[in-house]
């Protein structure tokens, strides 16, 4: 396997872990109904809707830092950690 392909696999595995972590968090914050429906609390819908409509540069500093944490995980895979 080429170095490029290995990096793709490592980053893809990280992306999956990040997605799975997000889904676990999301499911922990809402309510699963017996019929399979899932309800997200209105305050979270409002917050996440605001975030998805906001450019990174305009996010509050604490929300930027959350994204930086995830970016550092990619840099670590690339061997570029500080």
Domain limits, the chain: 3-77
User: Higher confidence at residue 3 or residue 81?
Assistant: 3
The reported pLDDT for the residue numbered 22 is 96
Output phi, psi for 32, to 5 deg: -90, 130
Spatial distance between the Cα atoms of 29 and 26, rounded to a whole number of angstroms: 5
Give the number of other CB atoms < 10 A from CB of residue 15: 13
Q: What is the mean pLDDT of residues 13-24?
A: 96
pLDDT, one tens digit per residue, over 30-64 is 999 999 999 999 999 999 999 999 999 999 999 99
Question: What CA–CA distance (Å, rounded) separates 41 from 53?
Answer: 19
Question: Across the strands, what pairs with 38?
Answer: 32
Token pair in block for residue 61: 């500093």
Count CB atoms within 10 A of the CB of residue 62. 7
């Amino acid at each position: 396997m080429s170095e490029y392909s290995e990096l793709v696999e490592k980053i893809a595995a990280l992306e999956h872990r990040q997605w799975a972590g997000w889904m676990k968090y999301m499911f922990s914050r809402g309510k699963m109904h017996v019929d399979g429906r899932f309800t997200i609390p209105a305050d979270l819908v409002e917050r996440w809707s605001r975030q998805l409509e906001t450019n990174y540069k305009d996010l509050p500093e604490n929300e930027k830092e959350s994204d930086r944490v995830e970016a550092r995980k990619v840099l670590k895979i690339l061997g570029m950690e500080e």
